[in-house]
Amino acid sequence: MKISQLGLVGRRVCSSLRARLWTHALVAGTMAIVLFVFGAFLLAQENLQNLLKKWGDQIQINAYLDKDLDAAEVSLLRHKIQNFSEVERVRHISRQQAWKDFQVALGAQSNVLEGLPEDVLPASFEIFIKPAYRDGPIVEAFANRLRKEKGLTSVEYPQEWVNRLSLMVLALQWAMWVLAGILFVAVFFIVRSTVRLAILAQKDEIEVMQWIGAPEELIQAPFVVEGMIQGFIGAGLSVLGLWFFLRFLRDQTPTLIGLFGSLDHLQFIDWGSIALILAMGSLLGASGSVFSLRRFMRTWRG
């Protein structure tokens, strides 16, 4: 396409955007809503992945001690475990310390423990794993080895939770792409219908352009550019909406008990995801236009 033709496309786009501002705004708004839903899934997925990484970094094994072990046996066992190549350090939690930690964890509700003996909780080792060994199967194999050690009644590690959360993230990813597929098909048809209306509104103009020998790409280009602009603006609005949504969650929602502890740690989607949303919006707008145009041009061309 030559420069003069590009200028012509630019002028036609500006003129169409001015003439049908509300129609364009409606399409951009619809796309913003759909992309917001998609972005919300991305936001959830990225934050869960961050959580997984954080948990992975803090990975530790809790090994509970037999009640009958004396101090010398505990020290010997601790020394043995410390010498395993996977272990970074071992911390001994006595029964009294475990009781105190539990009281602190319960906070205001610690009075429910009144009347219970202070040695009700078992002593344990908190075993911290070296970074090089913080991998699911390695930790699992090590935990199984520990289970065979005499003096340990049970061995627990959070990898099981990490595995479950990983599954959850995977399910969320699938749900996101399936939902995205359904939403995008819906938006595609909305965009296509709107473009069809725009084409009908400009039918005379298209016919005149065809009459004077305008190449097909020159006739189609303004519609495709309009679709891209609509999609890009819709995607931009959805990213903005997500940012406000996250701010609302951080500022207005009180600390939640559960998975996240506090929503203060929630992070906004990264630049790659923002670029993905913007690209998807533009592509969706452009493809809706192309499909509508192909059909109409075929009908009209003499």
| Residues found near another protein in the complex (CB under 8 A) | 1-5, 7-8, 15, 204-205, 207-216, 218, 297, 301-302
Minimum distance of another protein from residue 28's CB (angstroms): 24
Nearer to another protein, 6 or 186 (CB): 6
Sequence-ordered list of residues with C-beta below 8 angstroms from that of 207, at least 6 positions apart, any chain:
300
Which lies closer to another protein via its Cβ, residue 54 or residue 301?
301
Query: Toward another protein, which CB reaches closer, 220 or 282?
Result: 220
Nearest approach, Cβ of 17 to another protein (angstroms)? 14
Q: Please state the closest distance from residue 208 (CB atom) to another protein, in A.
A: 5
Structure tokens at 120: 């009700």
Residue whose CB is less far from another protein, 198 or 237:
198
Nearer to another protein, 117 or 302 (CB): 302
Nearer Cβ to another protein (7/261):
7
Instruction: Locate 171 and state its tokens.
Output: 């399910």
DSSP secondary structure letters along the chain: --HHHHHHHHHHHHHHHHHTHHHHHHHHHHHHHHHHHHHHHHHHHHHHHHHHHHHHHT-EEEEEEPTT--HHHHHHHHHHHHTSTTEEEEEEE-HHHHHHHHHHHHGGGGGGGTTS-TT-SPPEEEEEEPGGG-SHHHHHHHHHHHHTSTTEEEEE-THHHHHHHHHHHHHHHHHHHHHHHHHHHHHHHHHHHHHHHHHHHTHHHHHHHHHTT--HHHHHHHHHHHHHHHHHHHHHHHHHHHHHHHHHHHHHSPPPSSSSS-GGG-----HHHHHHHHHHHHHHHHHHHHHHHHHHHHHH--
- Smallest gap, in angstroms, from Cβ of residue 19 to another protein? 9
| CB 166, min distance to another protein, A | 53
In whole angstroms, how close is the CB of 189 to another protein at the nearest point? 25
Closer of 33 and 297 to another protein (Cβ): 297
The nearest distance, CB 220 to another protein, in angstroms, is 11
**CB count in 10 Å sphere of residue 170:** 11
